[in-house]
Amino acid sequence: MFKNLFGKKQAVSKTIELKAYATGNILQLEDVPDPVFSKKLMGDGIAIEPQEGKFVSPVDGEVIQVFPTKHAIGIKALNGAEILIHIGLETVSMNGEGFTSHVVEGEKVKAGDTLVTIDLEKVKEMAKSIITPIVITNSDDMESIDHLISSGSVSVNEEVILRVTSK
C-alpha cells in the first residue's frame, strides 16, 4: 500500500525552463568576444554580463562538474540537458583566485541555489571579460532551444531566459 502512495516516480517533462543565473545584461552568444562561444562550438545558449558576483542554478538538476579553478560548472537538468555556466572569459588562468564554489559534483540543486560567488572587481581586473555564457553542451540531443529574452537586463532567478526541449 505505501509503495503505491510513495513509490511513484514523477514524470519528467521533456521541456525545462532556465531562469536567469545572474543579475545583469543579456547578450546573444554571437556577441560574446570568444569564438568558442560566439560560433556555438560548445553548443547553443546565451550570455549575461553580470552586475554582481553571485551565480545560481538556472534549473533543478545535478551538478556534474565543478572545474578545479571554479570558473565553470556543469549541471544536468531533469530532461537530460547538459548545461555549462562559464564565468567570465579566459578566467581559467586565475586558478580559482576570487572564486568560491558552494556546490560539489553529484550534488542535487534547485533553481536559485547558489553555485559560485566571485570577487567581481578582481575578475574584471584579471580576466579578459566578465561576460558569462551558459551553453547547452548536448544541443544536438535537444529538439529545441528557445531564446525567450534576447536583450535587456535580468535579475537572478527571476526571468526565464531559455526553454529547452529534449527529443
Q: Which residues are catalytic?
A: 86
Residue 52 and residue 77: Cα distance in Å, rounded?
A: 25
